[in-house]
């Protein structure tokens, strides 16, 4: 992890810091030609051969040993068995997480609108939930029951009729906690299918799998590419890349060991994870690096951390109040602000997936229990997008009712615009009604 001194953030004529920060923002895995080709081939195969191809890919990539397509469905007995394998304390923790996620997202539910405007038109909109949603849960180097809850609960609150879950089953085994989380969400259809083939099956359907309206949930680079390639034929939440965290840590207010632990919690996700720390003291930055080296020795995923540290950096600035400028340039997925000036910094933040305020709001609290979904925009896409929410599972439908008297007041304006655009039929559909005026 490198330390970079940035002398002048506020100086608009000095853009060197943008080059320094930008170096670490380069996306090493973006649009790999091999990933694109392999993923497209899998999608085409699933579209053409359906269930038979699904069996082949499950057996090839996950060594499932399926003989027929019905075996990809998780049975009721498997779900019951999974529950028996889950410690009661973990069951309680997942249940508590469910309730907190549900409570938060219920407060997001929008209201239908219907009103009469000055011209006498009745205008408004109604919110309609999606019918079928497919949730993808990773099952590779780590599997996440929290992702099941964070993806499915907002859909439940929105009123989605049918939610199905897709997760890889290495050697025909699924993490029991994932199955338990799915049972908490009352998900009836759970498929032992992962990778790009799962995304293709959700997007286009097979004999055993119904096509869904939208696909949500994180995955590896092949899953992300598959979502990108099927978008338009089906809705998706986002194209998620490597995870990232930015920490604004004022040296007199933050604790080096805590900042280091928060950084490690993100770096252990994968070798392409990134952490950026913005602080106001060089010695404090050295303390953070020392703590990272010390604490990482205790962790099982230290090899992954060592690799992801190479893509991470600490930026030392003169005034911590200026940290928002760098953070907005990064547009982080997760942003921690640990400073006595958090209100000032927060006010100036315009780009972030989720913001965590204070010493006792580590990013990990958002991963599991706080309430907002932890599915967030990565790789700088927080510049124009938001994290998963109830709104991702709702459609807004406009309503327009124009009585005759109101039509008479405004139709001539519409006809003039239609004439200007050279759309005679549009103009006709308006003027033909003038015969009754």
Rounded Cα gap, residues 45 and 42, in angstroms: 5
Angle between helices 282-296 and 256-267 (to 10 degrees): 50
Q: What is the DSSP letter of 72?
A: G
Rounded Cα gap, residues 261 and 149, in angstroms: 25
Rounded Cα gap, residues 312 and 267, in angstroms: 9
Neighbours of 288 (CB within 10 A): 26
Rounded Cα gap, residues 37 and 227, in angstroms: 14
Question: Which of these is catalytic: 333, 342, 363, 379?
Answer: 333
Question: Which of these is catalytic: 78, 105, 271, 334?
Answer: 334
136, 216 Cβ separation under 8 angstroms: yes
213, 133 Cβ separation under 8 angstroms: yes
168, 62 Cβ separation under 8 angstroms: yes
Q: What is the DSSP letter of 399?
A: E
- What is the widest separation between alpha-carbon atoms in the chain? 84
Whether residue 253 lies in the annotated active site:
no
Rounded Cα gap, residues 128 and 394, in angstroms: 5
411: three-class secondary structure by DSSP: helix
Backbone angles phi, psi at 286, to 5 degrees: -65, -35
Distance between alpha carbon 236 and the CA centroid of its chain, in Å? 10
Return the C-alpha torsion angle 237, 238, 242, 244, nearest 10.
Answer: -80
Listing DSSP states for 228-289 in one string gives: HHHBTTBEES----S-EEEEEE-TTTS-HHHHHHHHHHHHTT-TT-EEEEEES-HHHHHHHH
Whether residue 421 lies in the annotated active site:
no
Rounded Cα gap, residues 29 and 308, in angstroms: 13
List active site positions: 333-334
């Amino acid at each position: 992890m490198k330390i970079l001194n940035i002398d002048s953030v506020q100086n608009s004529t000095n853009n060197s810091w943008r080059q320094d920060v930008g170096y670490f923002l380069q996306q090493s895995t973006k649009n790999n030609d091999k990933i694109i080709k392999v993923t497209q081939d899998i999608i085409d195969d699933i579209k053409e051969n359906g269930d038979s191809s699904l069996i082949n890919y499950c057996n090839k990539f996950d060594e499932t040993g399926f003989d027929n397509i019905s075996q990809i469905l998780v049975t009721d007995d498997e779900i019951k068995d999974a529950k028996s394998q889950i410690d009661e304390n973990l069951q309680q923790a997942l249940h508590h997480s469910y309730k907190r996620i549900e409570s938060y997202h219920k407060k997001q539910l929008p209201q239908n609108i219907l009103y009469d405007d000055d011209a006498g038109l009745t205008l408004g909109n109604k919110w309609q939930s999606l019918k079928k949603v497919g949730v993808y849960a990773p099952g590779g180097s780590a599997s996440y029951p929290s992702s099941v809850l964070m993806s499915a609960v907002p859909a439940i609150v929105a009123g989605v009729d049918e939610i199905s879950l897709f997760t890889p089953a290495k050697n025909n085994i699924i993490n029991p906690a994932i199955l338990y989380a799915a049972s908490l969400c009352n998900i009836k259809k759970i498929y032992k299918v992962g990778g790009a083939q799962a995304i293709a099956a959700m997007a286009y359907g097979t004999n055993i799998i119904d096509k869904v309206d939208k696909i949500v949930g994180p995955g590896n680079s092949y899953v992300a590419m598959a979502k990108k390639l099927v978008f338009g034929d089906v809705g998706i939440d986002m194209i998620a890349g490597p995870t990232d965290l930015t920490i604004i840590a004022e040296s007199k207010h933050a604790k080096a060991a805590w900042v280091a632990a928060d950084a490690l919690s993100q770096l252990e996700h994968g070798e392409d994870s990134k952490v950026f720390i913005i602080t106001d003291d060089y010695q404090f930055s050295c303390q953070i690096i020392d703590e990272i080296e010390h604490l990482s020795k205790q962790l099982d995923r230290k090899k992954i951390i060592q690799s992801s540290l190479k893509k991470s950096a600490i930026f030392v600035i003169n005034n911590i109040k200026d940290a928002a400028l760098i953070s907005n340039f990064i547009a982080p997925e997760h942003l921690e602000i640990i400073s006595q000036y958090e209100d000032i910094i927060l006010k100036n933040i315009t780009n972030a997936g989720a913001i965590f305020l204070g010493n006792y709001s580590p990013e990990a609290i958002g991963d599991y229990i706080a309430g907002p979904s932890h599915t967030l925009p990565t790789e700088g896409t927080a510049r124009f997008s938001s994290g998963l929410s109830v709104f991702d599972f709702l459609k807004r439908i406009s309503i327009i009712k124009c009585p005759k008297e109101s039509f008479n007041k405004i139709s001539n304006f519409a006809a003039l615009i239609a004439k200007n655009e050279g759309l005679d039929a549009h103009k006709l559909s308006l003027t033909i009604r003038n015969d009754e005026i």
